[in-house]
Chains A and B, each alone.
Chain A
Amino acid sequence: MNWEVVIPLILFLISIFVIGFYASTHLKSTSNFLQEYFLGSRQLGGFILAMTMISTYGSASSFIGGPGVAYTMGLGWVLLSMTQLATGYFVLSVLGKKFAIMARKIRAVTLIDFLKARYESKGVVILSALSIIIFLFSAMAAQWIGGARLIEALTGLSYIGALFIFAVSVLVYVIIGGFRAVAITDTVQGVVMLVGTLVILIGTVMAGGGMGNIVSTLAAENPGLISPFGADQSLTPLYVSSFWILVGVGVVGLPQVAVRAMSYKSSKGMHRALIIGTVVVGVIMLGMHLTGVFGRAVLPGIEVGDKVMPKLAMEVLPAWLAGIVLAAPMAAIMSTVDSLLLLVSSAVVKDVYLNYVKPEASDQTIKRFSIGVTTVLGVLVFAMAVNPPELLIWLNLFSFGGLEAAFIWPVVMGLYWKKGNASGAMASILVGVGSYIAFNTFMPNAFGMHTVVLPVVLSLVSYVSVSLMTGRKHAVVQEAVLLRLWKV
């Protein structure tokens, strides 16, 4: 075992635990367990809000999978990854104040609480809870596998042993500290991600003898590597642009990101988060993917994309510094997993159990049940990750696109279009998810665009047309919804 690399990782894990224990003191003293466990009592300030959004969004694919593809494809993939800059400001400015105000009017704790109040429909609630549980569960499994593989590669432990360490670390602080622990650890993890990015980028540029030198090495190997079209000329402008939907604006529809847009304390905090978030996401996405490309000039001939970052860190940095850099993908994975775990728990506890099974449950029961659900989910994901499917990045993108297609319009149109109604929302979720799965299976990357584009368009069309057609049927309910959500 390489102790110089492992010690920074252990220190990182210990500090995460300390935060978990700190947050658990809030959870013990709170008067409203649900609000605290799933939403941190809406107390997030600007810096923490920005960091928790970015680090929840930035995952294994930003630090391991993405740079691995950039290594193969060249600067064109960095161009593609920069479509993610929009997530830094778009989610908060679009959901932003409206979502925060409406969520407070109805005391919403989860995204589904909002959908429930907005559409007053059992169908919408059940469909959305199901999509969250199914899609986020598979996203979570993919991330756990990534986390365990990383520990495996760094420490030489067996895969199962690594998975066990990873699972226990995450479960402990999520269970004892809830959302507050998740948000604060996300912040620490975000800082680790940011610092790690800068260190590895600088280290790689230095090892390659400066950017000019690296770029000419790449151009000599294959001019495609420094063109926007990719090493094999496969990155068409249309295909690359379609990622603006998948990882740029579509992120608005991701429940794990959207729920953060109702967790902040004041509009001042939100303003600060907009700026910090854009800077941080810009630096991380540019830095990590550029490092992946530059790595090709420093360390050519790596066959498996996922191994590029770990190998590069060990090659270009002193061991202890490599340990810090490799804590970054660890941090990215943990900060995504913890949020997903909490969100899936909230869908089970708040959206299914409290809505339809036992609405009159006491605070004590809710507390025991919530912690129980989080634990059971953790164990289930562990069991799934023991025998993992291949291709981490694509599994992750699948759930990503499916959720976006399901939620983007019910959330965005629900906030801004008064005529949107329950039938429209249901049609939008069904068409979005259904067509996403269909296109993914039968016609991936239809018409040269990423698979997510057409389902997002189709679900918008269904939302609007069905809402307009069924306007009369929902007139009475809509009147009440308008009164509750829009009027002073």
Chain B
Amino acid sequence: MKQHDKPLEDDPRYRVANREALLGVGLVIINFILWYGFAYGIGSKPVGEYSYIWGLPAWFFYSCILGTVIVISLVILAVVFLFKEVPFDEEGDK
């Protein structure tokens, strides 16, 4: 599209929105790596050689329990420190 001769700027709130969408994608990638790495990294050996944490196989503990806790913490950190509040009202009362 020909945008170069347009005087109008994009809505500045979109810059925040785009950044946060990328943060969401980043979180999913981290989530996937933790989940996959722990599960198949530790869990691929024969069941007889498993070690156990809290009675659960170590792969499961790290991937599904610790991994979940880490991801939840990252979500909280991202929301608190990286997400920005923007006004939504169109009617101009803000």
Binding site for B on A (CB under 8 A): 75, 78-79, 82-83, 85-86, 88-90, 92-94, 96-98, 100-101, 104-105, 210-215, 219, 223-224, 226-228, 237, 241, 244, 248-249, 265-268, 271, 274-275, 278-279, 282, 286, 416, 418-419, 471, 475, 478-479, 482-483, 486-488
Q: B83 — which chain A residues lie within 8 A by C-beta?
A: 267, 271, 274
> A266–B11 Cα gap in the complex (Å)?
17
Q: B21 — which chain A residues lie within 8 A by C-beta?
A: 93-94, 96, 98, 416
Q: B43 — which chain A residues lie within 8 A by C-beta?
A: 227-228
Could you tell me if B11 and A212 are in contact, using CB atoms closer than 8 angstroms?
no
Residue among A88, A89, A101, A279 making CB contact with B14, cutoff 8 Å: A101
Could you tell me if B47 and A227 are in contact, using CB atoms closer than 8 angstroms?
yes
Could you tell me if A97 and B75 are in contact, using CB atoms closer than 8 angstroms?
no
Residue among B1, B31, B32, B85 making CB contact with A478, cutoff 8 Å: B1
Could you tell me the distance in whole angstroms from the C-beta of B23 to the nearest C-beta in chain A?
6
Query: From residue 9 to 34 of chain B, which have CB atoms closer than 8 A to chain A?
Result: 9-14, 16-18, 20-21, 23-25, 27-28, 31-32
Q: Given contacts A78-B60, A215-B57, is CB(A228)–CB(B10) below 8 Å?
A: no
Could you tell me if B1 and A282 are in contact, using CB atoms closer than 8 angstroms?
no
Could you tell me if B40 and A237 are in contact, using CB atoms closer than 8 angstroms?
yes
Q: Given contacts A89-B24, A97-B16, is CB(A215)–CB(B52) below 8 Å?
A: yes
The 9 A-B residue pairs with the shortest CB-CB distance, nearest first, are A93-B24, A212-B55, A211-B55, A223-B47, A98-B17, A97-B17, A487-B8, A228-B43, A267-B85
> A229–B87 Cα gap in the complex (Å)?
48
Could you tell me if B88 and A286 are in contact, using CB atoms closer than 8 angstroms?
no
Could you tell me the distance in whole angstroms from the C-beta of B3 to the nearest C-beta in chain A?
8
> A226–B60 Cα gap in the complex (Å)?
9
> A78–B39 Cα gap in the complex (Å)?
11
Q: A89 — which chain B residues lie within 8 A by C-beta?
A: 24, 27, 75
Q: A105 — which chain B residues lie within 8 A by C-beta?
A: 90
Could you tell me if A90 and B24 are in contact, using CB atoms closer than 8 angstroms?
yes
> A237–B41 Cα gap in the complex (Å)?
11
Could you tell me the distance in whole angstroms from the C-beta of A263 to the nearest C-beta in chain B?
12
Q: B36 — which chain A residues lie within 8 A by C-beta?
A: 237, 241
> A214–B39 Cα gap in the complex (Å)?
20
Could you tell me if B28 and A86 are in contact, using CB atoms closer than 8 angstroms?
yes
Could you tell me if A97 and B13 are in contact, using CB atoms closer than 8 angstroms?
yes
Could you tell me if A488 and B8 are in contact, using CB atoms closer than 8 angstroms?
yes
Could you tell me if A487 and B88 are in contact, using CB atoms closer than 8 angstroms?
no
Could you tell me the distance in whole angstroms from the C-beta of A230 to the nearest C-beta in chain B?
11
Residue among A86, A227, A271, A487 making CB contact with B85, cutoff 8 Å: A271
> A210–B52 Cα gap in the complex (Å)?
13
Could you tell me if B31 and A86 are in contact, using CB atoms closer than 8 angstroms?
yes
> A268–B1 Cα gap in the complex (Å)?
35
Q: B55 — which chain A residues lie within 8 A by C-beta?
A: 210-215
Could you tell me if A419 and B75 are in contact, using CB atoms closer than 8 angstroms?
no
Could you tell me if A90 and B88 are in contact, using CB atoms closer than 8 angstroms?
no
Residue among A79, A97, A212 making CB contact with B20, cutoff 8 Å: A97
* A-contact 0/1 string along B61-89, CB 8 Å cutoff: 00111011001100110010001111111
